[in-house]
Amino acid sequence: MHIQQNIPLAPYTTFKVGGAARLFVEAGGETEILDALRFAREERIPVFVLGGGSNLLVGDNGFDGLVIRIAMKGIAQQGNTLTAAAGEEWDVLVQLAAERNLQGIECLAGIPGTVGGTPVQNVGAYGQEVSQTITQVRAIDRATLTPLTFTNAECGFAYRRSRFNHEDIDRYIVTAVSFRLLPGGAPSLAYADLQRAFLPSETPTLMEVATKVRKIRAAKGMVLIPGDADTQSAGSFFKNPVVPAELYESIAATHGNVPHWPAPGGVKLSAAWLLEASGFHKGFTLGKAGLSTKHALALTNRGGATAGEILLLRDHLRAGVKARFGIHLEQEPVEL
């Protein structure tokens, strides 16, 4: 275990903002993670676990503790199940599944970050969520310093949530995830964007769907492209809110065609639509932070922004939507 000092964290995030970690270690296996946890316990310092940095906003003061960066790699296949180490790039796994004609995660192509973060957030896009294919999550219990395995049911999956980011937040460190996929299965074309991308007569392959998803995401600034300020973000910053049916009906009565979907407990609305309907259009800026010019739901570092400026923009947007519709937008990225 090699512990480094005063390591800037901004380069390890897609936002490219934030201060330094007082202590920093890269863990290539479970043994190194356990060693780092024991060290932090002995020194009585806080720990933060860093994955791909695609769903993270580091504060300007950095982190006065130990950052453990998950760097373990490896993908194994057993039958129709792929098991990937937590440090593997997520899109590498999606590409491999498509190449091997294994259906179930092709619509999640192009999403930045690592495999370990996918069960935590129950990552989803274009009609698919990882909870639909995850069979097991291997993790280390930070309280007992022991590895253990969770079944799908034990993960407590729901929309953009799991036990790992709610009731057991900061308790477990994911080290590997297993996905049961469908050999030769037809790709999912549930979302309108994908349906419009292919002719009704076409029968696209999994690889063609994954490629098309990446192109759609790139057009919205949701694929990392060096030098493109629209991609210096954490992707969709706000969750699509679920509101009571009565509130949706009230909004629809005055605004006409409001994008919505049925959801447990009410109606899911488009956070991007709410922002634009509140006057915050693509490209809106506040200081050096702003909305993407391609997608209203992505808060971006337009160049040289501080974390404080990102948060100021967040609060400004929230207040506008709250005043216009009475809806509080919940953010997706983790704050450090």
β-bridge mates for residue 300, sequence order: 233, 290
**Helical ranges in the chain per DSSP H:** 30-43, 90-99, 117-121, 192-197, 206-219, 245-255, 271-277, 307-325
Residue 332: active-site member: yes
What is the rounded distance in angstroms from the CA atom of residue 183 to the CA atom of residue 245? 39
- Write the single-letter amino acid at 213: V
Six token digits for residue 131 = 């909870």
Q: Give the three-state DSSP class for 118.
A: helix
Catalytic residue, candidates 89, 208, 276, 332:
332
Closest of 111, 109, 78 to residue 183, by C-alpha: 78
Q: State the CB neighbour count (10 A cutoff) for residue 242.
A: 17
Residues 6+ apart with CB under 8 A from 109: 91, 94, 95, 98, 209, 210, 211, 213, 214, 217
Residues 6+ apart with CB under 8 A from 14: 52, 53, 54, 56, 112, 224, 231, 232, 233, 234, 235
Six token digits for residue 52 = 């791909």
Helix (H) or strand (E) run with residue 124 in it: strand 124-125
What is the rounded distance in angstroms from the CA atom of residue 109 to the CA atom of residue 92? 9
Contact 122, 133 (CB under 8 A): no
Residue 217: active-site member: no
Residue 236: active-site member: yes
Catalytic residue, candidates 22, 160, 161, 180:
160
DSSP result, 143-193: TTTEEEEEETGGG--BTTB-GGGTTTTTTEEEEEEEEE-EETPPPP--SHH
Catalytic residue, candidates 236, 278, 302, 314:
236
Q: State the CB neighbour count (10 A cutoff) for residue 76.
A: 11
What positions carry a catalytic annotation?
A: 160, 236, 332
